[in-house]
Amino acid sequence: MIEAVLSIGGIGLLAAVTLGVAARKFAVEVDPRELALLETLSGANCGACGYPGCSAYAKAVAEGKAEPSLCTPGGQSTLEKIAHIMGVAAVGAAPQVAVVLCQGDNLRAAAKYRYLGVVDCVAAQRIADGPKICPGGCLGLGTCARVCPFGAIEMTSEGLAVISREKCTGCRKCVGACPRQVIAMTPLDATVHVLCNSHDKGAAVRKYCQVGCIACMICKKTVPEAYVIEDFLAKVVYEHYQESGAAVEKCPTKCIRDFVDGYPEGSRFAPPVVPVKRQEAV
């Protein structure tokens, strides 16, 4: 009996020693800066930095393979902490917010067929290029809202995605999820946007959307430096966004919206406070 106990104890001791030696031999040293960076990052694992998660980004920054200014969800405070850990000057990227370039919900934009499939924009787009006649309009099935880690996107009752200027951190996950590229990143300070994504000629747009851009040129004639017409679609020149508001009331289809006046119809988000001052990460 005693021999058996000693034998088992010896085997356990040998195993412990073997594991200890193996742990030292095969141990992977972790840069302490990497651990400090991981504690500092937002923890959203949103991919805004271009890496699959905060851990991968922290490792890349510690190894000098990534810029320390890519964690946009963390805000300026986080960027300053990252810079301090890495011993570099803090450089913050210009804050951006995602905007859905469409107001064509189920009441304002015509459908070419009734979609009864999986509630997913990517799946719907694969069937005859989507159920809406407009080739670039919001499909309204909520794929962007489901991937947003910050609850910044809502779907109106009539099937239009709306993004909160206060909640959006600029992580870009919704941009990558949209199969029609209806969502664009825009300067946070810019409040006026052409909410249309169709490049069809005006005559065609009028047939399927009440609030689409018809490339009438009125906005550009009103404020030449603040608008450009490209491929039958007006766009705000954001370098001159301060002047772009002069064309809002003159737009015949009301596809130009100033978010100072509120979100698109049907949104339950509280009226936006503009310009938005994002809460700094603690």
Q: Name the nearest CA neighbour of 159 among 184, 140, 177, 134.
A: 140
Domain spans in the chain, listed from the N-terminal domain onward: 32-86, 96-261
What architecture does CATH give domain 32-86?
Orthogonal Bundle (1.10)
Known binding positions for [4Fe-4S] cluster: 46, 49, 54, 71, 134, 138, 144, 148, 168, 171, 174, 178
pTM beyond cutoff 0.85: no
CATH assignment, 96-261: 3.30.70.20
| Confidence grade of residue 49 (pLDDT, cut at 50, 70, 90) | confident
Q: Which residues are annotated as a binding site?
A: 46, 49, 54, 71, 134, 138, 144, 148, 168, 171, 174, 178
Give the tens place of pLDDT for each residue, 138-179: 999 999 999 999 999 999 999 999 999 999 999 899 999 999
Q: Residue 76: CA atoms inside 13 Å, Cβ hemisphere, count?
A: 9
- What distances in angstroms separate CA 120 from CA 46, 115, 124, 144, one per listed residue? 20, 11, 6, 9
Mean of all residue pLDDT scores within the chain: 87
Model confidence pLDDT, tens digit, residues 91-120: 766 789 999 999 999 999 999 999 999 999
